Structure formats: structure tokens, C-alpha cells
Structure 1
Amino acid sequence: MVRFLTIAALSLALTAAVQAADSKLDYDHQEQWKAARDTAQSPIDIVTADALPAGKDEPAALQFDHLRAPAEVVDNGHAVEVETNTTQATIRGRHFTLAQFHFHARSEHTLDGRHFPLEGHFVFKAQDGRLAVVAVMYDSGAANAQVQALLDDLSHKTGHPGSDEIDINGLLPAKRGYYHYLGSLTTPPLTENVEWYVLPAPVTMSQRQIDGFVAHYRHNNRNLQPRNGRPLIHYEG
């Protein structure tokens, strides 16, 4: 049975996560990160052959609304982050609001051992404080207009937070199948009981755009963590 954290505990975890975001993280010495660690950490290698199919009676779809939203692009000290709170999601039948999304180079999760150049984490929060992260893989290919808008905003700050709009749909794959497991935040305090939805269908951006992110953070991915027998569910979409 899934264990739920109290609202107070999650609030403390979020506060600590924000404090951690204010300082650079040493990704070359991750063993020195100060955090409470247990046996359900993220990221993991998604071994597709180990995944169990989602039940047919399970409300498994990821549905997104209000995808065109005001956003502010910031450098939070360890990642390029986009702050926005307009986009809504229905995840397995429950309502969530997008708090922010950010990027890791290279990907934190792997698919059958394969890394992607970038991974985006779309962090959703429910009214009771529960966290769900939708992970999107990015690969080299056709240029992406929405990615370019983010990079342009990061390079030329207007000084008016929230004045720019982004079409988040352009940052998500058309195929919304996913691999689901329970894990943790991937930065201190590494709080567990976070729902993960890893979308295997990649979104493309040009190599120049990838280089634009890498120019800010070349190595800000946490090391892979053991799965420790946690269930891995696959929803085809």
C-alpha cells in the first residue's frame, strides 16, 4: 500500500528543496549531499522488460490543460528552471498544478541503460501537497521553437517576471505513454514518496539548443539509484 506523507512533512521537504536550490550542488561528490536517504530513491534505470502493464480499470492517462502559460526562466543555481503555475494536470484521475519545470544534462533516468542528452522534470503538486514529476527525454534532431523561446528568455532577461508566455505542449511528446514508479526528489533533501511518470518518447531539439543548456550546466544529473524491488508500471498511452 502506498504510504502518504503528511502535508506538514511535504511542506518541510519543499522548503528544504527551495533552500537547496539557492546554492550550487556538487554533482562530482554526490555522496556528500546532506539528506535523509532510504531505499526508494531516484533516478533509476527504466528496464522496460521488468515493467508490468497498467490495469485496464486504472485511470492511467496523463491529461494536461492550460498549456499556454506565463512563465519566468531562471538559473536556480543548479539547473535552468521555468517557474509557472497555470498549467493543470489530471494524473491517474487526480488533480495537480504545475509548479515549475527544469532540465538536467545528461538525463537522470535511463531507458534500458541509455542516457539522453537532456531530461526535463515537470514538477506537479496536488492540493494535499503530494508531488508528481513528469520526466521528458530530449534528443538531438529538429529545432524546437519553444525550447528556443526558453533559451532566448534566459539570455535576455526582461526584468518582468511572468510577462512571457510559453506553449508547454511543444515541450511534451505527442505520445503520452509512461513508466510509473515511486521514488524521490533528485536533489537534497531527496525526499521520498514522490510519484514519477517517465515518458519514453523523446522530444527533439537541435544540437545547438542542447548546447545552449549544456553551456549553463554540463553535468547536473544525479547518479542512478537501485530500484530495490519497487514496482514499475507501464502505460502504453
Structure 2
Amino acid sequence: MLATSTLHAQTLDYDHQESWKAIHDSAQSPIDIPTREAKPGDSLEPQDIRLNHANAKLDVVDNGHAVEVEAKGPEAMIRGRHFKLVQFHFHAESEHTLDGKHFPLEGHFVFRAADGRLAVVGVMYREGPANPLATKVLGALEKDGHGELSPTDISVLLPKDKAYYHYLGSLTTPPLTENVEWYVLQTPVSLAPAQIAQFRARYAHNNRTLQELNGRPLIRFPAASVAATGNRAATASR
């Protein structure tokens, strides 16, 4: 089901995306997020995205179409439901846009529930102070495009900001499976210009074209939080 974690070293033709076929195509991702059109979420519903035990052993790989990091250990409570982090990977430029604006890079943190349901947390990255974990991830790729990292706090790649946009969409690589829960965080995380350049040196165009919203609900949760428990608080600039 997870194309990005099971098809290592498989290239994708981003210049001819029209050849990608989905079984269903009415609820695809990514989308542009018109922020003023997003409807407020129900304040009585669970809203938090809470990352537990954020220290994780990481396996970094260039899978042929993205820089991917497989994570062992982190769990999350997403709107009151339990998920496990499977992997995270990066797209350049960002796949989602906010009010039509692309960011230089977007990270997708892919979570899976016990019943197989997928939730993806999207993080935008902009130029600013360097990120210590990004340095380690990029360094792990220097030898043969693969490397392992000892238990590391992954929360430094997530923002502290509490707001996100939520909709139902799909995987953004084949098989483009739908019924994926998307949580696109409003506030970006900073990476040094050199770090962004290093990611883009590997993949400068691995972002899927924008898809139509087709009437799907787009919800804004300003009171939600991205938090980490079970480890020290992140101290990196975000």
C-alpha cells in the first residue's frame, strides 16, 4: 500500500504524470489550500497531533524518487486515534500549496493505524536557520545513498505551531490510493539554504501536480497542537 516505503530504487517519471493511473480519481492529492475558504473544525472534537517517544532509530535511503527516512519507534495520537510512524520523505518543490504558494521543500510524515488506515502530516520547509536532523539525514546519504542513524529526536523536523488544514485525499505516488487522511501544517520549519540545495540536488522536481478539490471538505484546526512526549523538548530553531 505504501509505494514510498516498499519500492526502493524505483524511479518515477514526473515529467509525464498523465501516465500515472489511479483506480479512483475524484479525491486525489496534493491540492492547493485556499486558507480563507477552510471551514473551522468542531471545537468539541479531538484535535491534537501528539507525537510520543520521538526518539527513533532511522534508516535513510534514496529510494529512486525521494529521500526517505524509515523510522522505528515513534507513535502518535492523531485526533484521539493511535497511529505509528512508518516513514517520512521529501518533495521539491512542495506538493501542496497554501493560497497558491509553493515552498522549496515539503516533508510527508506517513502514519499507519492498526487497521491499516493512513494519515500523512505535511510539513513545509523554508529558508532560515539550519536544522540539525536534516544535516544528519543528508550526511547519511553520502555513502552509497543509504545510511543508518542512531536514536534521534525527529520532532525537530516538525513545527511548534498549533494549526493545520485537514482533508481526505490520496497518496501522491502510484498507486495513488485514496482515503488517506491529510494534515497539512500551517507553519513552515526552517532549513538552511545549503540544506535545501542538497535535497534539491538529488530531486529538484519530484512533486506531483495539483489536483482538484472536487467539493471535498477542507477543515482548519487552529487549536490543534504538534507536540512530543516521552523525550526532551525540541530546542532547534523552527
1:43-122 equivalences under 5 Å are: 43-122=30-109
Cα separation, 1, equivalents of 2:168 and 2:205:
24
Higher helix share: 1
Separation in structure 2 between the aligned mates of residue 184 and residue 101 of structure 1, nearest angstrom: 16
Q: Please report how far the alpha carbon of residue 38 of structure 1 lies from its aligned counterpart in structure 2 after TM superposition.
A: 1.8
How far the C-alpha of 1:19 sits from its partner, in A, is 5.4
Other structure's SS at 1:73 match: strand
Distance 2:173 2:112 in 1: 17
- Equivalent of 2:28, from 18, 27, 41? 41
**Cα distance 1:158–1:219, how it changes in 2: closer, same or farther (>3 A)?**
closer
Which residue of structure 2 lines up, in the alignment, with residue 131 of structure 1?
118
Instruction: State the 1:20 CA deviation.
Output: 4.8
* Structure 1 letter corresponding to 2:34: V
The answer to whether residue 189 in structure 2 is matched with residue 206 in structure 1 is: no
CA distance in 2, matches of 1:176, 1:85: 25
Structure 2 match to 1:9? none
Describe the shift of the 1:88–1:145 C-alpha distance in structure 2 as closer, same or farther (beyond 3 A). Answer: same
- Deviations along 1:60-82, one digit per CA (max 9) or x if unpaired, are 11101111111011001100000
Match of residue 156, structure 2, among 163, 170, 190: 170
User: 1:16-48 CA deviation, whole Å, 9 max, x = no partner?
Assistant: 665555410000000011332320000000111
Provide the identity percentage: 59
Amino acid in the other structure paired with 2:200 = V
- SS of the equivalent of 1:113 reads coil
Q: Please provide the CA RMSD for this pair.
A: 1.7
CA contact under 8 A between 1:17 and 1:189: conserved in structure 2? Answer: no
- Deviation at 1:104? 0.1
Normalised by the length of structure 2, the TM-score is 0.89
Q: Which moved more, 1:112-121 or 1:145-154?
A: 145-154
TM-score by length of 1: 0.90
Q: What secondary structure is seen at the aligned counterpart in 1 of 2:137?
A: helix
The one-letter code of the counterpart of 1:30 is Q
**Aligned partner of residue 161 in structure 2, secondary structure:** coil
**1:180 and 2:163 are equivalent in the alignment:** no
> Residues 83-106 of structure 1, C-alpha deviation per residue, up to 9 Å, x if partnerless?
013111000100000000000000
Q: Please report how far the alpha carbon of residue 195 of structure 1 lies from its aligned counterpart in structure 2 after TM superposition.
A: 0.1
Q: Which residue of 2 aligns with 1:30?
A: 17
